[in-house]
Structure 1
Amino acid sequence: MRNEMMHRPVLKDEIIDLIRVRQPEIQGRVGEIQQQAKVDGVPVIPNETASFLRFFVKQIKAKSILEIGTAIGFSASLMLEAAGEGAHVTTIDRFDVMIRKAKANFKKLGVESQVTLLEGDAKDILPSLTDSYDFIFMDSAKSKYIEFLPDCLRVLKKDGVLMIDDVFQAGTVMHDRLDVPKSQRTIHRKLNLLYDTVLNHPDLTVTILPLGDGVLMIAKDVETVDLSQLEKKLKNNAENKK
């Protein structure tokens, strides 16, 4: 589960110290989950990303939230706390050990009634979703982001926001493909396809933030986003693999 790229920050050390160390960590019972993750070596979102996520969810007053990648339930719990009364998080994960830990943490916090944990692969679950969401947080397999994008934008409400974590690949996302380790080239190619798809899309407003290993923020400006060109590319790619 270790993400080696998280430990190769693209910012100067003193800036990392300011936003990750000097900026207070999460307090209270949700903060206890953050601390336990450190002890256990579980790769939850770094403190600067957690602080921003809490701030942003509170400011946009999100009540219906979708998360892809539950892990131990830290970010879901953080978003619920920030969103306040009446909020609900639907979260997806396929790893049994993470699911067990997440359920235990939700029970400990007393938020079980505010969480729907869908167990299984997001590629199978996302197409079946029929609810709509104010905010979506995606922190899962980086090579799958581009494949999950169409369904995320389908269920995201107009003017809703999709936040995608870990999009810098430790700064190597802009390197030549041949300069990237072979084990990382699929992620490199698919992250660049993600950028190519959203950065100049007329139906989306997009910004990139240097938090952790990079955060991509995508606002949906219309009811239905035209992703026909992307869907053709993904379909052709799938057929070529057969």
Structure 2
Amino acid sequence: MRNEMMHRPVLKDEILELVRNRQKQMGGPLGEVQQEAYDNDVPIIPNETASFLKFFLKQIKAKEVLEIGTAIGFSASLMAQTMGKEGHVTTIDRFDVMIRKAKTTFEKLGLSEQVTLLEGDAKDVLPTLNGPYDFIFMDSAKSKYIEFLPECLRVLKKDGVIMIDDVFQAGTVMHDIKEVPKSQRTIYRKLNKLYDTVLSHPDLTVTILPLGDGVLMISKDVEKIEL
């Protein structure tokens, strides 16, 4: 389950030390889940991304959140705890082993009533949702981000935000495709298509953050978006 790209950071070591290790880790039972994942190379968001996510959700006062890619339930739990009892997270995953682990995490943290886990492929689940969601966090198969984007924008409220994780591919996303291993070229093409789609779109406000393996933030400026 080791995410090799997370071990090839694009930041200098001293900056990575500051943003990842000097910021405090999560505390309590959530911190135990975080540390266990790190110890076992389970691919959860790194601490700098978790810290930003917690900070950002507080600022926008999100109440309804959608997540694509539950994994072991760490990020969904972080978001649910950050929003408090008035907030709710709907999260989607299709892998049985992750679904079982996520349910265990939610039960351990007392969040089973605050998090709804939808089992299935996001391409099938997303069209069944109505929203609106204040915030959407995508952390799943990187080659699928561009495919999920239209449905995510449909259910996102106006001025809502989509946060997409792992969009740098350790910096290789900006290399010539001939320099990219053949096994990674589909991801390379799909991530660059994602950038091409959103960075110049007139109805989206977009920024890119060097957190973890890259974070893409997309704000929806109008009610209906055409891509």
Q: TM-score range by the shorter chain?
A: over 0.9
- 1:49 corresponds in structure 2 to 49
- 2:205 corresponds in structure 1 to 205
- Secondary structure of the 2:184 match is helix
Mapped to 2, the partners of 1:3 and 1:36 lie a distance apart of 15
Q: Deviations over 1:16-48 (max 9, x none)?
A: 000011111111121111011122221100000
How many pairs does the alignment contain?
227
- 2:59 corresponds in structure 1 to 59
Q: Normalising by structure 1, what TM-score?
A: 0.92
Structure 2 unaligned regions, length at least 5: none
Structure 1 unaligned regions, length at least 5: 228-242
Mapped to 2, the partners of 1:174 and 1:30 lie a distance apart of 35
Runs of 4+ in 1 over 2 A off after TM superposition: none
Native 8 Å contact 2:3 2:41 kept in 1: no
Mapped to 2, the partners of 1:178 and 1:125 lie a distance apart of 35
CA drift at 1:128: 1.3
Mapped to 2, the partners of 1:111 and 1:64 lie a distance apart of 15
- Secondary structure of the 1:112 match is coil
Q: Deviations over 1:173-204 (max 9, x none)?
A: 11111110000000000000000000010110
* C-alpha RMSD over aligned residues: 0.8
Q: Deviations over 1:207-233 (max 9, x none)?
A: 000000000000000000111xxxxxx
Native 8 Å contact 2:80 2:88 kept in 1: yes
Matched to 1:53, the amino acid is L
Residue 95 of structure 2 corresponds to residue 95 of structure 1? yes
Q: Equivalent pairs: percent with the same residue?
A: 78
Mapped to 1, the partners of 2:46 and 2:52 lie a distance apart of 10
Residue 41 of structure 2 corresponds to residue 35 of structure 1? no
Q: Deviations over 1:40-63 (max 9, x none)?
A: 221100000000001101110000
- 1:240 corresponds in structure 2 to none
- 2:145 corresponds in structure 1 to 145
Q: Deviations over 1:100-158 (max 9, x none)?
A: 11101111111111111000111111111112100000000000000000000000000
Matched to 2:136, the amino acid is I
- 1:225 corresponds in structure 2 to 225
